[in-house]
Amino acid sequence: MSTWELSEDQQRLQAGAVAFARAALTASGPEDERAGHFDHEGWKKCADFGVLGMPIPEAYGGQGLGLSELLAVMEGLGYGTRDQGLLFSINAHLWTNSIPILIYGKDEQRTRYLPGLCDGSIIGANGASEPDAGSDIFSMRTRARRDGDHYVLNGTKMFVSNAPIADLVVAYATIDPALGAMGVTAFLIEKGTPGMSVGKKFDKMGLRTSPMAELIFEDCRIPVTSRLGREGRGAEVFESSMEWERGCILANCLGAMRRQLEECVKHARSRKQFGKAIGKFQSVANRLVDMKVRLDTCRPLVYRIGALKDAGKDAVMEAAVAKLYVSECYVKSSLDAVQTFGGYGYMTEQQIERDVRDAIGSTLYSGTTEIQRNIIARGLGL
């Protein structure tokens, strides 16, 4: 069996995810999307379905399943619902909170936080990007000053997904800007901690149902026991979480691309112009062929990440390749879907154009297309 072909159990899990999404994740229509409504009920349903705990060991409240199984489920969810914002929030929660805590947390931190992260009672966020530290993440200015058995944090984080609804933040700060990446340290900060507040909320082009805001630290005092990993090793924590996120965050986009293709084929067969179905026109047919080719070439790249991580191997290069290629293909196929539906695709009521706005974000989050090219070039020794 190829690394991207689903086993019978994985097919069963994916089919169950599709059925669940179609039945339970239906709250996000055009008005909800326009208002940026986060589906709290859908979040809890996803937790009850088991999505939030799939890659976490049973000892910490999860299901202990492999990454390949989770990817199959996420693809199924992306196919079954248009609420890519909710799925984006789930991805942010998993790859920048649950996984770093599982890998780098002390057992007391795992015991304290992972069960709630799995059952949905704790929503996670990640504070890394800053006004002057986006792609150049390790030039961050948020400072962590050691004061006895505590650290005192000061600074501002930008573009924090889930910030307005988060109960737990994995935040990064530097103990000394002159040290660059070697000064970065990771911290676990709970909602309500004095000195941490939610700042400006952002009104986004796409993924509008995933809330985003600033996080502000003003003399935010946290105990040393809240440090995640060792002092000065936050860059390792961050890069590890990004490897997982880059390789996995687009699994639900595979489902969206599959749904797009099926909708376009159905429309091309039924929509008639000049006396025949528009799918009989070569320009339309070729567009759908391109969508099919993109989907089939994207799937192995994503599922290869699952196979590698399940085997305990690194996937830095492979994650960057998947992130680069799948995000670009998602944008192109979303634009092709609008073109296929024509004027109907441009109307918000049909929600075809929603995929375009959501897809464009995929070329930016978890490292821009340009950053992925840099990572791949380094991997090639360039």
Q: What pTM did the predictor assign?
A: 0.95
Q: How far apart are CA 264 and CA 41, in angstroms?
A: 30
Residues of the chain under the 70 pLDDT cut = 1-4
Q: In this structure, are residues 252 and 78 in contact, taking their beta carbons and an 8 Å threshold?
A: yes
Same fold, 8-123 and 238-379: no
CATH, domain range 238-379: 1.20.140.10
From 75, 130, 245, 318, the catalytic residue: 245
Residue ranges per structural domain of the chain = 8-123, 125-232, 238-379
Candidates 2.60.40.10, 3.90.950.10, 1.10.1740.10, 2.40.110.10; CATH matching 125-232: 2.40.110.10
Mapped onto helix, strand or coil, the DSSP state of residue 156 is: strand
Burial readout 247-261 (b: 16 or more C-beta within 10 A, e: otherwise): bbbbbbbbbbbbbbb
The topology (CATH level 3) of 8-123 is: Butyryl-Coa Dehydrogenase, subunit A; domain 1 (1.10.540)
Tell me, yes or no, if 245 is annotated catalytic. Answer: yes
The per-residue pLDDT for 139 is: 84
The per-residue pLDDT for 4 is: 67
Q: What is the pLDDT of residues 146-197, one digit of tens each?
A: 999 999 999 999 999 999 999 999 999 999 988 988 999 999 999 999 999 9
